[in-house]
Structure formats: C-alpha cells, structure tokens
Amino acid sequence: MQEYQVKFETLTIGNSDFYIRSLLDRQQYYDPEGVAARANIPPSMWPIFGLVWPAGLFLAQTMCHFPCDDKRILEIGCGLGLASLALHRAGADITSTDQHPLAETFLEENLALNDLTPMPFHIGSWEESDLELEKFDLIIGSDLLYETAHPALLAGFIDRHANDEVEVIIVDPGRGHHGKFKRAMERLGYRLETEWSAQQDIKRTLSRGHLLNYRRGLH
C-alpha cells in the first residue's frame, strides 16, 4: 500500500512564520495496521486531522493575542496543532490531544521543523477518561462540532478536564451544532460569556463562523 503524501507551506500566525508539514489533500489514507479503524475513524475522515483548516488557523491567530500567563492550556482535537505550536513558541504551558493515530507524529515533526522543543501530547477519544491528562485553566479547540453526537461528548470531555475556574474557547465554522453544545455546557454550569460571530475578523475568515467563549467560576 502506498503511504500518504504530504506538502510543506509557510503560515504566518501572529508575528511569526511557521513551516508546516500537512497532508497533500483530502484523498490521503494510510492505515495498514487498522489503528484508525479501531478508533472508529473511517477512510473518509482519516485525512481531516492533517489539513490546514480556516477554523484552526483562526484559533491560532486568536490565541496569539489572548492572555495566557500562568494558565495550563489544553487544545482538544488539535489536528496539526497550529494553536498549540503558536502558544508553545510564546512560552505557554500547552498540552494537545487528538484521537488520530498520526496526530502526534505530525506535531513532533512540525515542532522540529520550527526549532521548537517537545511538548505534551495525549491520544484518546472524548468518550475516554484520561487520568494522566489532569485538569486545565483554559481549554481551546476548533471545528469540533461536525457530527450530531459531538456536542454532548465534547462538553463531557471538557468538564472532566476543567479546573473549577476555567475558560473555554471553541471556534466553530458554522457546522450547525453550536446551539446543542451551548445547552450541554450550560447544564454543566458553564456560561456563554461572548459569541464573537459578528466581528469582522472572524467573518472575513469564516462567513458563518462563531467563536464561543465559555467560563465557569470566573468573574
């Protein structure tokens, strides 16, 4: 079986350039040992993690201007981890997680390509409780609500890994499930602080996008 194909490109995030290794296109698939299949990742979804998506790039740009001092940060469903790379370069305490079996490999290679030191990564699904993942002060993610079951699963995963005082930032490009996610988060005690859907910066990038900012235990 032929292995997947990749490409390299330079992305400007904040005031920095990042040299990024990603999949060539959405036609890529390589799962010779069935690891992705056992993780319930079908062939059509296999390449999703390894592409540069507008929502992921917008999250990374947003985090360049977000106050992160002294916060433990978790990026959920990181894919290529653009936000994680930007935060890591800025010296933030960032951990990333994804279900895809190759996400860690791509993250490690992109760290090396940009002369960055290793950073923590955990593999696992939102249904699982990862005892090693601990809890965080800021939880971020992008384009995570593209299936009907995702709002409840994502809210539950966030809650298991959130400190009592926590902020959550989710960039949704308009998949149609953010209302269901809002209700799931509210049931767990989170309030929607702002919904940056009308700001021109997100509209230029994501015509139907929302940046959802939740808080619990913060004023």
pTM (predicted TM-score): 0.94
Half-sphere exposure of 191 (CA within 13 A, CB side): 6
Residue 215 — very low, low, confident or very high, per pLDDT cuts 50/70/90?
very high
- What digits encode the pLDDT tens for the residues 9-24? 999 999 999 999 999 9
| Mean pLDDT of the region 185-196 | 87
| Range from 2-6, 125-129, 183-187 that averages highest in pLDDT | 183-187
The full DSSP string for 59-70 is HHHHHTTS--TT
Q: Which residues pair with 168 in a beta bridge?
A: 139, 214
Do residues 107 and 80 make contact, with C-beta atoms less than 8 angstroms apart? yes
pLDDT of 118: 97
DSSP 48: G
Q: Is the pLDDT of residue 194 over 80?
A: no
| Mean pLDDT of the region 185-191 | 95
Separation CA 111–CA 92 (nearest Å): 14
Separation CA 170–CA 147 (nearest Å): 15
- What digits encode the pLDDT tens for the residues 144-160? 998 899 999 999 999 99
Domain segments of the chain: what residues? 50-216
**Under CATH, which number does the domain 50-216 receive?**
3.40.50.150
- What digits encode the pLDDT tens for the residues 104-137? 999 999 999 999 999 999 998 888 766 678 899 9
Q: At what angle do helices 178-187 and 150-160 cross, to 10 degrees?
A: 40
Q: Is the pLDDT of residue 199 over 60?
A: no
pLDDT of 2: 61
Q: At what angle do helices 82-89 and 103-113 cross, to 10 degrees?
A: 40
